[in-house]
Amino acid sequence: MTSSKTKPASYFPNQNELPKNIFLFTGGDPTGISPEIFEKMLQNTLSLIQKTQETVLIYFSTDINEHSQKIKSICQEKEIFFTKYEIQTREKFFLELKFSSICTTGVLFCDITKWASAMQEKKNFFRKMYKMQSKDEKRTRKFSSSSIPKELISGNPNQSSGSFAFHSLQIACDFAMRYGCNGMLTAPLSKEWVIRSGQKNFCGHTGYLSRYFQKPTMMLMHGRDWSVIPLTEHIPLRKVPSRLKQKIRNPSLFHLLKKVKNLPEYGFPWALCALNPHAGENGLIGREEKDFLRNWVEQLNQEGLFVEGPISADALFVERNLKKYRLILSCYHDQGLIPFKSLQGKDGVNCTIGLPFLRTSPDHGPSFDIAGKNQADSTSMEQAFHLLLQEMKI
């Protein structure tokens, strides 16, 4: 996390045009609850920035329904500047982007659907062409950009919704790389449908952001009273022991933990979950604690990171210990996130540590089962935005 905006690239045409504060929002999967929780978040939080100067929310929308009109109505109700831009191509967007037209606090609604549809159709075309056996067929087949899908049905994700979600994230990253930003809030998407749309190497927001900005990153599940860092993330359980051993030997992990140490809310002591039940019973039901986890805790303490453990997870996530430890390091994803989401509830926020800016996200997925029913709770989305504003002291 950092409270300073990333420096804009030197080729920005007029750096004096940059607003004081820029926050980027991705659209997420439009067939899930992402559009609904963005609307509710905006309705409930716009008052926080009404009195600020030059705070621009740039929203890369993935929804093709009446979403923009709803956002416009919210902005008008709150007397916040609103403008809409339809992205035809990425190059044209950055060429035409002029902040001088946004001289006050407001929302820039960027519709990415036409551009994302064309990119998806192009990808599908070349995929089909690669599979064709006949050279004559390759010569006669012509590429034509598809139109936007006639409708995206809430609760029914597909390749288009996955593609829209991915391209919204991609262009938000392009913007951050070119001009910088104070923070990025990513709406929920489905990794499955992003991959099915053709992005085979996509492994989630954190992994994509790490590769894009070429920075080692770490997931931090931030809560009001206590937080969790999963030391391994989206991998099968059978791979956890070997990956965990590799992870704690990587110097970048120590540097990322030091970044967390420097945050005002993250005082010591911290705690490390044991990998095995009962912390391995001194090697009787697992040797990872004895072979390398205990030594790692000693090394962290010697370097000024005061961590206790490894402690059996079933004893760690109880009220007495949760009051003692501000941060808990879990050995694998579900070990930490199941108790975090169960006990922190709607107040949890997913953060990415290690980027040039703070990235936050609600701590839940796209919830296709309640999409389109006006049942989605936007509390976690609002907390994610509150955290961005808190880091900027707005």
Domains of the chain, CATH where assigned: 1-217+378-394 (no CATH), 224-347 (3.40.718.10)
Per-residue confidence (pLDDT) for residue 109, from 0 to 100: 93
What is the mean pLDDT of the segment spanning 214-236?
93
Joined together, the tokens standing for residue 86 give 């339809």
Give the pLDDT of residue 5. Answer: 47
- Read off the pLDDT of each residue in 169-173 and give the average, rounded to a whole number: 96
Mean pLDDT value across residues 181-194: 95
Strands (E), the chain: 21-26, 55-61, 81-86, 106-111, 183-185, 218-222, 227-230, 270-273, 307-311, 327-330, 349-353, 358-362
Which residues have a Cβ under 8 Å from the Cβ of 185 and sit 6 or more positions away?
23, 24, 25, 26, 359, 360, 361, 381, 384, 385, 388
> What is the average per-residue pLDDT within 273-300?
93
Question: Residues 264-278: what's their mean pLDDT?
Answer: 92
- Measured CA to CA in angstroms, residue 389 lies from 3, 48, 188 at distances of 9, 9, 20
pLDDT at residue number 122: 61
pLDDT at 193 over 60: yes
Q: Mind spelling out the 3-state secondary structure of 210-245?
A: HHHHCCCCEEEEECCCCEEEECCCCCCHHHHHHHHH
Residue 327 scores a pLDDT above 80? yes
pLDDT at 127 over 80: no
- Give the count of beta carbons closer than 10 Å to the beta carbon of residue 200: 8
**What is the SS3 assignment for 103?**
coil
Question: What three-state secondary structure class fits 378?
Answer: coil
Q: Output the CA–CA distances (angstroms, integers) from residue 300 to 162, 249, 251, 304, 354, in the order listed.
A: 40, 12, 11, 6, 19
The amino acid present at 250, given as its one-letter code, is N
So what's the pLDDT on residue 339? 95
Lowest mean pLDDT among 3-7, 169-173, 175-179, 377-381: 3-7
pLDDT in tens, 5-61: 443 333 334 445 677 789 999 999 999 999 999 999 999 998 888 767 778 899 999
Which of the four pLDDT bands, split at 50, 70 and 90, describes residue 149? low
**How many CB atoms within 10 Å of residue 306?**
13
Give the C-alpha separation, 52 to 49, whole Å. Answer: 5
Maximum C-alpha span of the chain: 72
Q: Is the pLDDT of residue 325 over 70?
A: yes
Question: Which tokens in the block code for residue 354?
Answer: 């290690």
Residues 57-74: tens digit of each pLDDT: 999 999 887 899 999 999
Q: For position 102, what pLDDT does the model report?
A: 54
Q: Is the pLDDT of residue 280 over 70?
A: yes
Mean pLDDT of 226-247: 94
Q: Give the pLDDT confidence score for residue 80 in this predicted structure.
A: 86
